[in-house]
């Protein structure tokens, strides 16, 4: 089979490998669509592990099932979680599924930028989601990133009527804007350095789209009747954005650090100025649980979240390298979908 092998953001090679063989409890999936995630182009995170077949935002068709598989059959249309929890450890039992050691060790074989992947038995057991007829394969590639966004907003205590600031309007920021609007939050402000992405944020529900260099706290007070934002979501790893977030959160509010920073990055925090007496929560998030995946799929199925409008590029497997360049350059692209069967 053909696979797109990642060596760097500028070096993605089309290679041939044997199709995976499946065993007891496993399944073989034909990949129909695979999204490029912002984390896929984090070279510092990948450089010591290359060569790799990446791709975890996947959807496709079951082509073969192994002995002992009862919930899947050839022809089923599915989305799949690459990381799945054990559901029995301390972290899972206290609701922190994404801190589970099993979740961090699981994956499918090889990755979504391939014609076929093997789904290990644990993924088949708790990481497969059947697609409703009205959900296309390309829409289903958003199940994983939307699950991450859902978990993040829950961590931040998002509620209807909360004022929101999303810092960084790449695909993650746009999903946060759109989900916040769908869940009844508002007013919603979004920032970015790109006019293209700010226009996209407006189209997906932002009440205000602000240049990153503006006086964001002042603009928020204009938008929110004198108050700052109840929920601030940071979707960029720039340290200046984190500082801006801390200056933009209202008393009793929360700052969610959704994006990772460069390795080793630290920020100075004044406990008195930002937290003491202000009841501000600073939190982070990572990945999503199987329940988050199901909730994300339900939102897409019921058209509460319109993901199709976020897709800017659809490329065949042979052009995966071009897709990585588009995402890494962060220009006029939002969501890049690879179609491995083309």
Q: Provide the pLDDT for residue 274.
A: 82
Q: Strand 128-130 relative to strand 311-316: parallel, antiparallel, unpaired? A: unpaired
Residue that is written with structure tokens 């598989």 in the block: 69
- What pLDDT was estimated at residue 275? 84
Q: What angle do CA 192, 197, 202 make, to 5 degrees?
A: 95
* Phi and psi torsions of 166, nearest 5°: -110, 120
Residues near 153 by beta carbon (within 8 Å), at least 6 away in sequence: 176, 179, 180, 183, 231, 233, 256
- Cross-strand pairs, 79: 59, 129
Three-state DSSP class for 175? helix
Per-residue pLDDT tens listing for the chain (342 residues)? 999 999 999 999 999 999 999 999 999 999 999 999 999 999 989 888 999 999 999 999 999 999 999 999 999 999 999 999 999 999 999 999 999 999 999 999 999 999 999 999 999 999 999 999 999 999 999 999 999 999 999 999 999 999 999 999 999 999 999 999 999 999 999 999 999 999 999 999 999 999 999 999 999 999 999 999 999 999 999 999 999 999 999 999 999 999 999 898 998 888 888 888 899 999 999 999 999 999 999 999 999 999 999 999 999 999 999 999 999 998 999 999 999 999
The vertex-163 CA angle with 36 and 291, nearest 5°, equals 45
State residue 169's pLDDT score.
97
Structure tokens of 340? 């491995």
φ, ψ dihedrals at 340, nearest 5°: -65, -20
**Domain spans, the chain:** 2-147+287-339, 157-284
| CATH H-level superfamily of 157-284 | NAD(P)-binding Rossmann-like Domain (3.40.50.720)
Residue with tokens 């100075």: 268
Q: What is the rounded distance in angstroms from the CA atom of residue 185 to the CA atom of residue 153?
A: 11
Query: How far apart, in whole angstroms, are the C-alpha atoms of residue 172 and residue 155?
Result: 16
In this structure, what token pair is assigned to residue 311? Answer: 């897709």
| Cβ proximity of 176 and 185 under 8 Å | no
Do domains 2-147+287-339 and 157-284 share one topology? The answer is no
Tokens read off for 142: 């958003």
CATH architecture label of 2-147+287-339: Alpha-Beta Complex (3.90)
Residue among 128, 80, 89, 86 nearest 105 (CA):
86
Cβ contacts of residue 205 below 8 Å, gap of 6+? 177, 178, 180, 181, 182, 188
Q: Is 258 exposed, middle or buried (0-12, 13-18, 19+ CB in 10 A)?
A: buried
Q: Are 213 and 238 a contacting pair, CB within 8 Å?
A: no
Q: Which two tokens stand for residue 149?
A: 């966004």
DSSP state of 114: B
CA–CA distance, 114 with 341 (Å, rounded to integer): 9
- Tokens 């907003």 sit on residue: 153
């Amino acid at each position: 089979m053909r696979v797109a092998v990642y060596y760097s953001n500028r070096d993605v090679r089309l290679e041939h490998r044997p199709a995976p063989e499946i065993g007891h409890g496993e399944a073989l999936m034909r990949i129909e669509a695979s999204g490029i995630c912002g984390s896929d182009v984090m070279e510092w995170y990948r450089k010591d592990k290359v060569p790799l077949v990446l791709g975890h935002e996947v959807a496709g068709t079951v082509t073969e099932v192994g002995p002992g598989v009862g919930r899947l059959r050839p022809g089923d249309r599915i989305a799949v979680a690459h990381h799945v929890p054990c559901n029995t450890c301390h972290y899972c039992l206290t609701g922190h599924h994404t801190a589970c050691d099993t979740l961090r060790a699981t994956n499918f074989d090889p990755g979504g930028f391939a014609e076929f992947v093997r789904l290990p038995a644990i993924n088949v057991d708790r990481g497969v989601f059947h697609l409703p007829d009205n959900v296309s394969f390309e829409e289903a590639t958003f199940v994983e990133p939307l699950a991450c966004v859902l978990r993040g907003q829950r961590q931040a205590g998002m509620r209807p009527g909360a004022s929101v600031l999303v810092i960084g309007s790449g695909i993650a920021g746009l999903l946060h804007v759109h989900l916040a609007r769908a869940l009844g939050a508002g007013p919603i402000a979004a920032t970015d350095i790109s006019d293209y992405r700010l226009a996209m944020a407006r189209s997906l529900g932002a009440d205000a789209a602000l240049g990153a260099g503006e006086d964001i706290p002042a603009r928020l007070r204009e938008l929110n009747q004198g108050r700052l934002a109840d929920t601030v979501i940071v979707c960029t790893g720039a340290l200046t954005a984190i500082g801006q977030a801390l200056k933009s959160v209202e008393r009793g509010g929360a700052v969610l650090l959704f994006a990772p920073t460069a390795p080793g990055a630290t920020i100075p925090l004044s406990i008195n100025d930002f937290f003491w007496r202000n009841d501000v929560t600073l939190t982070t998030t990572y990945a999503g649980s199987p329940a988050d995946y199901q909730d994300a799929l339900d939102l897409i199925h019921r058209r509460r979240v319109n993901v199709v409008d976020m897709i800017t590029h659809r490329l065949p497997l042979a052009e995966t390298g071009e897709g990585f360049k588009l995402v890494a350059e962060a220009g006029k692209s939002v969501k890049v979908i690879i179609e491995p069967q083309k």
